[in-house]
Every structure is written in C-alpha cells, then in structure tokens.
Amino acid sequence: MGAVSARPYLYHLLMGKLITMNIFGLSTLVYLRLINVLIGFGSLYLTYLLTKEITNDQWIQILVLIIQTNVLMYVFISSMVSYDNLVNLLSVASFLLLIRYLKNLSRLYLFLLIITMLTGVLVKVSYGPIVLIQALVLIYNARTILNKKQKLFNKSFSISEALSVIAIVILIILNIELYANNLIHYGQIQPKTANVIGHQNALNSLQYQRNIGLKSTIQDRPMMPFHKYFIKYVYQTQQTIFGILAHRNMLKKGPELYIYWLLFCLSLLVFIKNFKKLIRQKNLNIILFSTFGYMLVVLLVNYQNYKLYHLFGLALQGRYNFPVLALAIIFIAYNLLAHFNDKTKAIIIVLATILLVYNNYFWFLSHVTPDWYIK
C-alpha cells in the first residue's frame, strides 16, 4: 500500500465501495461526482439546521443559504470528487451536534459528536483542529456539563446510544491503528512520502521533485515581513474562495471582490455596534470562536509552509477554510439582518441575491471556455 497505508483513507474507501453500486450505466467519474453533489446538498441542509439553532429568523436562514450557494469555489468543489466535501459535511454536522448537546446535554448528541470527530480525522488529518476547537468549547462549558452529570451517567442506555458507543469503540480502534502506527514507525502523525516509500520511489512524484528544487534555491527568495505576507494571504485567500483554483483557474480580481468585502465590513460594523448584546449569545460565541480559531490555524500552517520554501502562494488555497465556511456565513448573515425590521431584511436579501448571483453564476458563464466542459 505504500504511503496510502499511512494516510487517512475513509473517503477513498467509501467512494471505492460506492463504485460497486453503480447500476445506472454512468461513467465512474460522473457517478462519483453525483455522489459528491449529494454530499454538498447534505452540507447545505445541515447548515440550514445549524442556522436554526442560532436563530429562528427565517430571513437569516434564507440569506445564509443564498450566500453559501454563491461561493464559487464551494459550489465548484461540491461537484468534484474530493474528500473536502465529506470533511465539510462532517464539520457542519459536528458543530450542529455540539450546540445541540450544550443546549440540552443529551447523551446521544455527545456520542454522535464524538463519532463525527473520530470519523473526520479518518478522512483528513486537517480535521484535527476542528476536534481541538470543539474540545476547548466542551472544556469551557465543563461546569455546566458536570452540574448535570446525572444526564450522562445515571440513565440506562437506549438502543441508539448503545449502537453509538459501539461505533465510537470501532472508530477509536481505527484511529489508533492509523495514527499510533505512524508514530511508532515514522515518528510522525502524518509522515512524509519519502519516509514511507523511500527517497528513490518518492522521486517519481512531481510534487516531491518540486519541493527538493525549491529547497535548493531557497537562498534566491528573501522572506517578506509577516504583515506583508498577511495582506497578500488575505487577498489570495479571497481570490481562491470566491473564484476557482483547481487544475484550471478562474480567479476574481479587484472590483469583482468588492461585494464580499462589503458584506463582511457591514457585518463587522453591526457586530461592533451591538457587541455587548451579541457577546452574551452563547451559540454565536461558539460560531465566532470556532471560525477565527480554525482560520488562524490555516493561516499559521500556510505561513510555516512559506517559511520553509520562501515561495508565496505554494499550497495556499482558500478551500482549506471551508470546514468553517458555514459558520462564517451564519455570523455574517446574522449581523446583517438580526437588528432590522422585516421590510429592511427583504430589501437586503433581494440586493444581496442580485449582486451575488450576478457576480458568480453570470460571471462564471462570461469567463468559462469550452475546454472547461467534459467532452
């Protein structure tokens, strides 16, 4: 198995099993893309349910879905065969379960939350920060949880809870098998390719060859100060979230990004204005802490990569923030609408919809070329 045996494998295993169920005569690629579209729709539905936990305001719930379905890279990747889709689904599901658990301390919600955590790190190692952030939220609420510990310990298990415990045990074993094996054999949770298959075999990888070349010429590329890096990082992250960065690129520039800055800045101004009121809302605090916490981790990982090779933009993709995209959108939509009357909310939604659809769907159609389509 080589490097595959040392990497999170669950998404690839699931897709491989689902290929055997293709009874529709579709090509494997189209079939798997349709499955990923369904995963994307599942993420949207869970985002809707998560928004309902934050607010009963239907205007906000609608705006969240409008914004999320007009994030071009998110829509694009949802139709691709990518493990990011399953990561995004599990992330939204886990935050939904986290908030529901803290709301009523249901033991089943806690077990399901643990299942999503353990499943997520079997899909992609970068799910780890999500687990850490949610663990910190649970620790912060430990007093509330312990005050009602009878809900956790003093009841007999239902069938659903018993099955959940069995699933947790199986997932723990699978995680230990993967990550403990990596630590024992390679000294790392996620070993480098050369550590697993050897230097000579790794040279068959163009990425490995590229990285060796970059390290050998690092002295030719001076480091920029962090503040300059951060400004460029924010701009390119925006470009690769609201544009497309894949095997083919379609990036937005300058004025094409203004609508997103406008939505964010308006939301931030409203949040600052109503800070004392909003900071007391527990669920909104969880959303805010988790969003900025995860985005900070992504920033620091990218900066470490920059320090390693002195090459800006290497492996810098906005989609790495998608596990908390739904949270960020909920926060923005809430601040944009929560403090206005229904008439004003309707006007904001209509204007936002027109601008977003024009700047995404029609923008894509005006830039796409025939070689983007499957022939």
Its pTM stands at 0.94
Tell me, what's the pLDDT at 371? 86
96 vs 319: CA distance, rounded Å: 21
Q: How far apart are CA 327 and CA 333, in angstroms?
A: 10
Question: CA 176 to CA 315: how far, in whole Å?
Answer: 28
pLDDT tens per residue across span 44-99: 999 999 999 999 999 999 999 999 999 999 999 999 999 999 999 999 999 999 99
How many CB atoms are closer than 10 A to CB 278?
19
pLDDT value for 207: 85
Average pLDDT along the chain: 92
The domain in which residue 282 lies consists of: 2-372
The Cα 215–Cα 98 span in angstroms is 42
| Confidence (pLDDT) at 89 | 98
Q: With contact defined as beta carbons under 8 Å apart, do 158 and 108 qualify?
A: yes
pLDDT at 8 over 70: yes
Q: What band does 156 get if pLDDT is binned at 50, 70 and 90?
A: confident
Which residue blocks in 55-82 are alpha helix, DSSP H? 58-68, 72-78
Separation CA 353–CA 10 (nearest Å): 37
- Token readout for 345 is 């909310």
- Residue 164 buriedness (CB in 10 A; 0-12 / 13-18 / 19+): buried
DSSP designation for 308: H
pLDDT of residue 154: 67
Q: Assign 151 a pLDDT band (cuts: 50, 70, 90).
A: low
Count up the domains in the chain and report the number.
Answer: 1
pLDDT tens sequence across 214-261: 888 888 889 999 999 999 999 999 999 999 998 889 999 888 999 899
pLDDT, position 292: 96
Judged against a pLDDT cut of 70, whether residue 375 lies above it is answered with no
Over residues 187-192, mean pLDDT: 86
Q: Is residue 333's pLDDT more than 80?
A: yes
Average pLDDT over residues 329-335: 95
Residue 2 clears pLDDT 60, i.e. is over it: no
Q: Give residue for tokens 């952030």.
A: 133
User: What was the pLDDT predicted at 148?
Assistant: 74
Is 174 a residue whose pLDDT tops 50?
A: yes
Q: Quick one: pLDDT band at residue 206, thresholds 50, 70, 90?
A: confident
**pLDDT, tens digit (0-9, with 9 covering 90-100), for 286-319:** 999 999 999 999 999 999 999 999 999 998 999 9
Percent of the chain scoring above 90 in pLDDT: 74
Give dist(CA 220, CA 229) in Å, integer.
18
Contacts (Cβ under 8 Å, ≥6 apart) of 71? 241, 242, 325, 329, 360
**Which pLDDT belongs to residue 288?**
94
pLDDT band at 276 (very low <50, low <70, confident <90, very high): confident
Structure tokens at 20: 């055997």
327: Cβ contacts below 8 Å, ≥ 6 apart:
50, 95, 287, 290, 291
